[in-house]
Structure formats: structure tokens, C-alpha cells
């Protein structure tokens, strides 16, 4: 098993990333397909929410990836600040777009779920507002990394922003505890859940499926960034 | 209120966005690695 430091070498990383990209991506797609089929066809409707509860099987993975994406950016940014591994900042840049997209999908699917359940598309409560803030923080990170790259920066400012932005994660996580919100409290935990097993079982399929899919996308984007910087370095050498 | 249009809309939005992101990322990777 290669160490984290060994993987920081772009050549070694690419040797591992090339075969891993399609494996992660397609394994994710298969698991999502199984979870979706089961979530839409095999589980019973909720006694209170009826059929709308089926949005759970995509809403929870999008919320998880919106937050896990920023955790990835924060860890990568910290790794870059401490050890100066350029690959860490490439990882942070690669995570930003899929992370922002899943945060947006969490807000959209939540809003679609909210209309028939709460009677409203949107409510400025703790959970919804903090998630919306996370989406804007993602947009800020993307703008900052682009501006930093264009100005020939060393990546330190986006990395500091990446670490600082992680302050939002516990706020989102505990928003349903700290404030009286329209959003339901925690119903799914690692060890116990308030949702019946007959309804919950497809969720691990979509959760793991979307996570593998996300990892496959991040590897694709890291490979694109690495190949582009390699091509740019070659053109600079030719011009010199 | 019929719940199915809401369920179908949520799944469609998610899958269309995920498919679009996957296609874009794959094309970008292929283009960059061919340079």
C-alpha cells in the first residue's frame, strides 16, 4: 500500500488513478442504479409522507457529498499548507465543482421534497440557510483558485480559505439541534436510525454509489488539471 | 396532491446534473491528456 507521501508524486498518482477512475465510476453507477430501483419500486410508502419519502434516497447522498466535498477541500488545503504537496491543491481544485453541484442538488431536491411535505419550496431556517451558505462558499473557492492560478499565485490564499470554510460544517450538522427548524432532526445515524429498516435498506446503495461516482469524477478532474499543467509547462519550455 | 411529479422531478434533476458533470469531466480529461 503506497504511503500518502509516495502518492504525492504525480507520476505515481497517475499510475494508480488511471485504472482506478473507471472502476470507481462504474461501480458507483451500478450501485446508484440498484439503490434507485429499490428506492422507487421495492420499499413501502411512508405512513405520513406517502410516496414523497422516496426523495430520501437521492437527497441524503447529495447532502452527504455536499459536506464531504468541503471536508475533502479542507483536508487537502491543510495538507498543502503543512507539507506543500502541489497534488493536494490539485485535489482541492478538482473537488470544488462536483462538491458545489451536489450542494446545489441537495438544496434543489430538498426544495422539491419540501413543497408537498411542508407546503413551501423554501424556508430561511438554520439547516437550509447554512447549506445555501456552503454552496456560495464553494463558488467563492472556485473563483479564488481561478484568480490565484491566473495571477501565478502559490495557492496559499485559496488553501487558507479552504481550511477556514470548514467552520460551516459543524454549523450545518448541528443546525437542527441548535435552532428550531422546519427541517427534521437527525433521523439517520451510524449505529441507529428512526427510519424503519424496510424503508432504509436502499439508502446505503445510493450513498456508497454516489460516493464512488464522486471519487471517479474527482480523479477525472485531477487528471485533467495535471495534463493541462504538463502541456502548459512544455509550451513554456518551447517558448523559452 | 399527487406526489409522483415531485419524486420524478427530484430524480430527473439529480441524474441529469450527474450525467452532465460526468460527461463534461470525462471530455475535459480526454482533451487534456491528448494534448
The ipTM estimated for the assembled molecules is 0.95
**DSSP code string of A5-70:** HHHTSHHHHHHHHHHHHHHHHHHHHHHHHHHHHIIIIISPPBTTTBGGGGGHHHHHHHHHHHHHHH
The model's pLDDT over A192-206, given as tens digits with 9 standing for 90+, comes to 777 778 888 999 999
pTM: 0.91
Contact predicate A221/B29, CB 8 Å: yes
The position carrying cell 490564499 is: A157
CB-based contacts of A87: which residues, under 8 Å, 6+ apart? A7, A8, A9, A10, A13, A222
Whether the Cβ atoms of residue A39 and residue A202 lie closer than 8 Å to each other: yes
Q: What value does the mean pLDDT take over residues A32-41? A: 96
Q: Is A74 exposed, middle or buried (0-12, 13-18, 19+ CB in 10 A)?
A: buried
Look up cell 447529495; give the residue: A62
Per DSSP, helices labelled H in A44-201 are 56-83, 86-118, 126-150, 156-164, 168-178, 197-200
Q: Which residues of A touch B28 (CB under 8 A)?
A: 220-221, 224
* Cβ separation A51–B18 shorter than 8 A: no
Residue A2, pLDDT > 70, answer no
Task: Count other C-beta atoms under 10 Å from residue B12's C-beta.
Answer: 11
* pLDDT per residue as tens digits for the range A59-91: 999 999 999 999 999 999 999 999 988 899 999
Q: How high is the mean pLDDT of chain A?
A: 90
Q: Which of residues 15-34 of B touch A (CB under 8 A)?
A: 17-18, 21-22, 25-26, 28-29, 31-33
Rounded Cα distance between B16 and A101, Å, is 12
Query: A-B interface: how many C-beta pairs under 8 angstroms?
Result: 79
Q: Is the pLDDT of residue A4 over 80?
A: no
Question: Shortest CB distance from A54 goes to which of B7, B28, B31?
Answer: B7
- Do A158 and A74 touch, CB atoms closer than 8 A? no
d(CA A81, CA A83): 6
The per-residue pLDDT for range A78-134, each reduced to its tens digit, is 999 999 888 999 999 999 999 999 999 999 999 999 999 989 999 898 899 999 999
- Exposed, middle or buried by CB within 10 Å (0-12, 13-18, 19+), for A156? middle
Q: Is residue A78 classed as helix, strand or coil in its secondary structure?
A: helix
The contacts found for B22-26 with CB under 8 angstroms, 24 or more apart, are B22/A25, B22/A213, B22/A216, B22/A217, B25/A98, B25/A217, B25/A220, B25/A221, B25/A224, B26/A220
Do the chains contact at A220 and B6, CB–CB below 8 Å? no
CA atoms of A158 and A148, how far apart (whole Å): 7
Contact predicate A96/A71, CB 8 Å: no
Cβ distance of B14 and A62 shorter than 8 Å = yes
Report, as an integer, the average pLDDT of A157-182.
Answer: 89
Angle among Cα A60, B21, B4 to the nearest 5 degrees reads 45
Residue A12: is its pLDDT beyond 90? Answer: no
Q: What is the nearest CA distance from A51 to chain B, expressed in angstroms? A: 6
The residue ranges of every structural domain in chain A are 23-39+53-183+206-239
Residue A240 has pLDDT above 80, yes or no: no
Amino acid at each position: 500500500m503506497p504511503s500518502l507521501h509516495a502518492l504525492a508524486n504525480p507520476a505515481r498518482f497517475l499510475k494508480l488513478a488511471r485504472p482506478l477512475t473507471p472502476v470507481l465510476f462504474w461501480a458507483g453507477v451500478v450501485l446508484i442504479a440498484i439503490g434507485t430501483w429499490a428506492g422507487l419500486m421495492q420499499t413501502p410508502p411512508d405512513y405520513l409522507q406517502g410516496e414523497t419519502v422516496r426523495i430520501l434516497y437521492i437527497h441524503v447522498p447529495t447532502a452527504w457529498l455536499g459536506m464531504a466535498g468541503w471536508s475533502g477541500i479542507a483536508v487537502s488545503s491543510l495538507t498543502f499548507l503543512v507539507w506543500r504537496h502541489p497534488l493536494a491543491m490539485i485535489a482541492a481544485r478538482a473537488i470544488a465543482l462536483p462538491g458545489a453541484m451536489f450542494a446545489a442538488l441537495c438544496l434543489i431536491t430538498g426544495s422539491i421534497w419540501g413543497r408537498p411535505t411542508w407546503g413551501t419550496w423554501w424556508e430561511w431556517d438554520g439547516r437550509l440557510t447554512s447549506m445555501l451558505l456552503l454552496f456560495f462558499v464553494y463558488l467563492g473557492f472556485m473563483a479564488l483558485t481561478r484568480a490565484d492560478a491566473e495571477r501565478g499565485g502559490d495557492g496559499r490564499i485559496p488553501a487558507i480559505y479552504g481550511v477556514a470554510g470548514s467552520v460551516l460544517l459543524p454549523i450545518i450538522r448541528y443546525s437542527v439541534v441548535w435552532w428550531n427548524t422546519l427541517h427534521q432532526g437527525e433521523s439517520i445515524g451510524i449505529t441507529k436510525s428512526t427510519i424503519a429498516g424496510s424503508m432504509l435498506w436502499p439508502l446505503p446503495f445510493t450513498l456508497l454509489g454516489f460516493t464512488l461516482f464522486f471519487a471517479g469524477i474527482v480523479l477525472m478532474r485531477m487528471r485533467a488539471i495535471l495534463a493541462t499543467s504538463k502541456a502548459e509547462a512544455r509550451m513554456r519550455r518551447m517558448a523559452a | 396532491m399527487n406526489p409522483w411529479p415531485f419524486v420524478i422531478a427530484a430524480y430527473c434533476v439529480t441524474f441529469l446534473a450527474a450525467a452532465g458533470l460526468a460527461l463534461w469531466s470525462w471530455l475535459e480529461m480526454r482533451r487534456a491528456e491528448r494534448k
